[in-house]
Amino acid sequence: MPIRVLLADDQALLRATFRILIDSCDDMEVVDEATHGTETVDLARVHRPDVVLMDIRMPGTDGLSATTTICADPELSGTRVLILTTFEIDEYVARALRAGASGFLGKDVSADALLDGIRTVASGESLLSPVATRTLITRFLSTPAPSARLGPPDALSALTTREREVMALAAEGHSNDEIAGKLVVSPLTVRTHVHRAMTKLGARDRAQLVVIAYQSGLVRAAPPN
């Protein structure tokens, strides 16, 4: 089955460009297009896509509100949101990640990186580069408003020692292969630990697991330069 993608952007030219690019791939297809947040949510409920390619700044209901609604809907638990933004790091992206978005890309991303990003998010992984993650954590996620906190200090009590270790390395931006090398285990074992930690902590995906790692104090954000 191809990866089913819903496009959400108020710029017709960008939507047309993304559609041509995505539909040119054998393993993915565009199921529909939305121009604002309310329409995005409605179309997501109709099509139940694998990935929503979501612009943050749209007229009326914006992409942030739409992301929050989609990620909170149990019937859309199989839908992943990939944020597209003009700015690589901003507070809106941080809020979207807290809400359950699986990652973000800049709008100046290359065609190959965009397609790879869609595939990564569709597979259940997060799309957070180590540099972007460190900046995001330092500026926004490690000191959230109380209402936005996903990981209170006692949230980790259900995890095993190895699950905490793997979670901490993931929060530092390491891939499964890199974690496997550090711990001298197989990538499959690392993946198992990551998924068990996600299940125990109620994290929607790896991106939320990273947020919880910092907010619970498992990993400390480095002070900004």
The pLDDT-based confidence of 60 (bands split at 50, 70, 90) is confident
Q: What is the pLDDT of residue 128?
A: 66
The pLDDT-based confidence of 176 (bands split at 50, 70, 90) is confident
Q: What is the pLDDT of residue 59?
A: 84
The pLDDT-based confidence of 19 (bands split at 50, 70, 90) is very high
Q: Which residues pair with 7 in a beta bridge?
A: 33, 53
The single residue listed with the structure tokens 């499959």 is: 188
Between 149 and 125, residue with greater pLDDT: 125
Residue 82 near residue 51 (C-beta atoms within 8 A)? yes
Q: What is the distance, to the nearest Å, from the Cα of residue 136 to the centroid of all Cα atoms in its chain?
A: 13
Reply yes or no on whether the pLDDT at 204 is more than 90.
no
Query: Model pTM greater than 0.85?
Result: no
pLDDT digits (tens, 9 = 90+) for 69-108: 999 899 998 999 998 876 555 667 777 777 788 888 877 7
Average pLDDT, stretch 192-204? Answer: 89
The pLDDT-based confidence of 221 (bands split at 50, 70, 90) is low
The pLDDT-based confidence of 147 (bands split at 50, 70, 90) is low
Q: What is the pLDDT of residue 205?
A: 76
Instruction: Please name the residues in contact with 198: beta carbons below 8 A apart, sequence gap of 6 or more.
Output: 204, 205, 206, 208, 209
Residue 136 near residue 219 (C-beta atoms within 8 A)? no
Average pLDDT over the chain reads 84
